Amino acid sequence: MLKTNEQKLVEFLLQCHPGQPKTRGTWEVDHLGTPFLLPAIGGITLNVQAGDPAFGWAGDHIEPGVSCTADTMKPFEHPNVGLQIFSCAGNTATVVTGEAKGAEGRVLGHHGGSEHVIVDFSRDIKEKLLYSDTIIIRGKGQGLRLVDYPAIALFNLDPTLLHAMKIRLGEGGVLEVPVTTLVPAVCMGSGIGSAHVAKGDYDIMTSDADTVKEYGIDKIRLGDFVALLDHDNRYGRAYRKGAISIGIVIHSDCLEAGHGPGVTTLLTCASPLIRPVLDPAANIADLLGIGTTLKCCQ
């Protein structure tokens, strides 16, 4: 078992509510110059959940499950910034009002731009939710460290999910991390250059069909753990040869230039102390028994 400082982590109760679906209310244009009007970010998304394909939806930047916000009118201000930073993948989220009171879900990650925390709930729970309902997230994970691997930085990761990820010690003292997909550095787009990765995400660009096919990017599922090759996320999102970052996919493919499935960072290292190992079941749905598991898809 990985040695961590989890006993020293601070745990917050974070209050939020579902955010209404957002739209610019006009035509948008894809990377080929074709205008479109489609569902996009936000909402209580009834028929999309963790474990579902990230590709093929009649939409753009679709956020699975419930898109949560502390203040939809002030997405970049307090208290929504705190909700974003202190909510971590794997955190428990509980509905505390309304017909779905007492129901539990799990945080997938956070989506920059929309400034939503994405929470997976089963469809029967989502059918009972209102946009006025209150959800409490047990925010725990920022500050998590691997005691024996100080060079590996962790962000946005509940220790319970870390221990469920089946990370093992490999030859040469590296940590072998199961992932579904290896993503080349050239594919990383929107979000590069951000000052830190403790909130938001960045996108795997999917505008080049040959590269998408070569790396199997179009097979990615929502909630997949993926390896971002030659990307150092310790102090922002940057290219660094030999670095590696592990993230979780939190929104669907996109049509706009520079965009694609969004990734929230979980682990990152400037040197090759992390070795990604391909595993089609490396998905939060399969590990925690939520959403659409791989067995359901076969």
pLDDT at 189: 96
Q: What pLDDT, on a 0 to 100 scale, did the predictor assign at position 294?
A: 81
Alpha-carbon span 35 to 84, nearest angstrom: 31
Q: What share of the chain is helix, strand, coil (3-state, %, to 5)?
A: 15, 35, 50
What pTM did the predictor assign?
Answer: 0.97
- Hey, which bits of the chain come out as E strands? 11-18, 28-29, 35-36, 44-45, 65-69, 92-95, 104-111, 116-120, 135-140, 153-154, 168-169, 175-179, 181-183, 202-203, 225-232, 238-251, 262-269, 274-278
> What is the pLDDT at residue 297?
56
Domain 153-297 indexed as CATH 2.102.30.10: yes
pLDDT at 70: 98
pLDDT along the chain (298 residues), means of 10: 95 98 94 97 98 98 98 96 98 98 98 97 98 98 98 98 97 96 97 95 97 97 98 97 98 97 98 96 97 76
End-to-end CA distance of the chain: 31
In the chain, domain spans: 10-140, 153-297
- Structure confidence at residue 296 (pLDDT): 63
- Give the SS3 label for residue 88: coil
Same fold, 10-140 and 153-297: no
CA atoms of 158 and 35, how far apart (whole Å):
40
Instruction: Identify the CATH assignment for 10-140 out of 2.60.40.10, 3.40.190.80, 2.40.10.170, 1.25.40.10.
Output: 2.40.10.170
Amino acid code (one letter) for 78:
H
User: Which stretches within 13-111 are classed as H helix?
Assistant: 80-86
Cα–Cα nearest to 219, from 156, 139, 289, 279: 279
Quote the CA–CA distance of 172 and 182 in Å, as a whole number: 21
